[in-house]
Amino acid sequence: MAIYPLKETRTPPKSQTKAIAWLKDNLFSSISNAALTFVALYVIYLLLPPILNWTIFDANFDLTADNQSCGREGACWSFINANLKMFIYGFYPEEELWRVNTMFGLIAVLVIFGSLIKKSQYRAHYIIGSFLIYPVVAFVLLYGGLGLEIVETDKWGGLTLTVVVAAIGIIASFPLGILFALGRQSEMRVVKFISVIYIEFVRGVPLITILFMASVVLPLFFSAGMDFDKLLRALIGITLFQTAYIAEVIRGGLQAIPKGQYEAADAAGLSFMQKTILIILPQALKISIPNIVGSFIALFKDTTLLLIIGLFDMLAIVGAASSNSSWLGRETEGYVFVAMVIWVILYLMSRYSKRLEVRFSTEHR
Amino acid sequence: MSELINKEIGEKDCCNIIEIKGLNKWYGDFHALKNIDLNVKEGEIIVICGPSGSGKSTLIRCVNFLEKFQEGSITVDGTELTDDVKKIRQIRSEVSMVFQHFNLFPHLSIINNLTLAPIWVHNETRQEAREKALKLLDRVGIKDQAEKYPNQLSGGQQQRVAIARALCTSPKIMLFDEPTSALDPEMISEVLDVMIELAKEGITMVCVTHEMGFAKKVADRVIFMDVGQVIEQNTPDKFFDNPESERLQTFLDQILTQ
């Protein structure tokens, strides 16, 4: 037999110029891949110039121009500028806009302060406290009371309404979704039965049906005097809808937890609640982060359906603004603008989800 | 814990800490445990072996009620196991288990894996639990890994953490469910060494394992199970040198000539 000496480790061989290597690996690795690359380039060649011409080169960036002086060959961005307040605040009274600004400003303050006390032992208290107190403050600011003039919810609209509805839907549906996910896994037959019926019923119905039910059918069950707010009804509908989806997403996470984790928690003598809160849920939620955020992104987009029941979210505002006689025919600018705003918000949400995943990862730190 | 761990080995003929009487268990129609009678004395080291599917894991999992059984009774330290959740939790707080696949909590650091049960089940303060946990980690030789996460450790290290976690609640009884079966060969001895140390300190241990070297070295009694029943039990010397039943002879021939 033979004995082999230990070999020295060395750095990997240098490939050719990096850019060329990259092109070869990613765009021209095979004949079909190369063909796809050329097709894609051709599609970009066809689409990009007209888009750029309309949005930039032929567009009128004079923010004081009116509909007539703007011209028809390109976008008229003064439309956005002229209606910006409506896009953001809907029909909220001009002199009360500071209240909306304060509400959004407070979020920024809370987040910044939260990141400053990252190491503090009171951070958990701070976060829970914020979640309990902030909604009350935000409600008083937005709706009124305590000396502030009441602003009815039919005046709310635009980005404000979109964000408020999405935020309430997300915050309310998350704990409810956890409960229903646990309910569906429960060994108690009644709890399990109710959870399954609820989840399957709601998931089998489109959101638009639920919104119609909430806004048209629900009032039939109440006497005339008891009619309650349209926005509140929509919020309840959206929360019920989102709860079912979150429950299913979290159930997926729960099912991915190995049986050994339950057994180890049981064997240590933990109670059912302790086991669920300390061992099972943290792991299940961590696994579910991408899907939970995906579900929230879907909810954010679904808020545009509010226009069906007569609430003016940002998308509906485009229609309202462009039907104004002085801005007729400028919907396209509005829709492009709204699309960009929504895209930026959703992109940030998705990036944040990535960061959360990395933060909670205990795999290779 | 110290009074338990420092207990002299000579006290072993005192009283039964585990009494199993007429235990029967079925999985559906499959009769997994057939009329098992078994007593374990305080401080005794028991090794259970047998071919796979013989019911040895099921048996020790019945002791802390991870498995339900249909007939018979199990009494642990004077408390009889019933469906009563309080009694189950009480027994579980006195009985610790080490699993084949470690089952550490991957979302918690090593130190938090150890202090979880002391804090939440035994109402210790964070400080007490932490100090005791660090001592135990030191004993199993991984004190410097306390702030790491389970997935950053090797299999052998994880199992040693699991043993430390099991000890952290000062249990009267330790159950080992094939603690070395999922380990790479070069890591088995580091876990066995810890278990041998533990055995010398006088804690009651019931180990399901195929490590016959371990059985010979520390066991007071070795039990051979097959097809859901106890076939033979004896002191290690007689068990290995003079197996009485044919089944045990065949089994020993198979695993010792590997």
Interface test mutation site (partner A, options B62, B86, B105, max chain A beta carbons within 10 A): B105
Q: Tokens 């533990």 sit at which residue?
A: B198
B86/A contact by beta carbon, under 8 A: no
Interface test mutation site (partner A, options B60, B85, B120, max chain A beta carbons within 10 A): B120
**Number of other residues whose CB lies within 10 A of the CB of residue B140:** 22
Distance (Å, rounded) from C-alpha A238 to C-alpha A341?
22
Q: How far is B206 from chain A (nearest CA, A)?
A: 15
Q: What is the pLDDT of residue B3?
A: 45
Give the model confidence (pLDDT) of B169-202 as tens digits: 999 999 999 999 988 888 899 999 999 999 888 8
Contact B66 A274 (CB under 8 A): no
Partners of B207 in the β-ladder? B47, B176
Residues of chain B with pLDDT under 70: 1-14, 258
Contact A271 B89 (CB under 8 A): yes
Could you say which of B64, B99, B107 has the minimum Cβ distance to residue A362? B107
| Distant-in-sequence, close-in-space partners of A229: CB < 8 Å, separation ≥ 6 | A153
| Residue of B60, B14, B6 lying closest to B41 (CA atoms) | B14
Distance (Å, rounded) from C-alpha B49 to C-alpha B232?
10
Give the model confidence (pLDDT) of B54-71 as tens digits: 999 999 999 999 999 999
Q: How does DSSP assign A266-306, residue by residue?
A: HHTT--HHHIIIIIIHHHHHHHHHHHHHHHHHHHHHHGGGG
Partners of B33 in the β-ladder? B25
Contact A279 B101 (CB under 8 A): no
Distance (Å, rounded) from C-alpha A331 to C-alpha A64?
18
Contact A270 B120 (CB under 8 A): yes
Mapping DSSP onto H, E and C, the string for A235-255 reads HHHHHHHHHHHHHHHHHHHHH
Residue A268 near residue A279 (C-beta atoms within 8 A)? no
Distance (Å, rounded) from C-alpha B82 to C-alpha A43?
72
Distance (Å, rounded) from C-alpha B253 to C-alpha B258?
9
Distance (Å, rounded) from C-alpha A347 to C-alpha B127?
44
- Residue A183 phi/psi, 5° resolution? -60, -40
Give the model confidence (pLDDT) of A70-93 as tens digits: 777 777 787 787 788 888 888 888
Contact B116 A278 (CB under 8 A): yes
Interface of A with B in 205-244 (CB under 8 A): none
Q: What is the pLDDT of residue B258?
A: 60
Residues of chain A with pLDDT under 50: 364-365
Residue B20 near residue B74 (C-beta atoms within 8 A)? yes
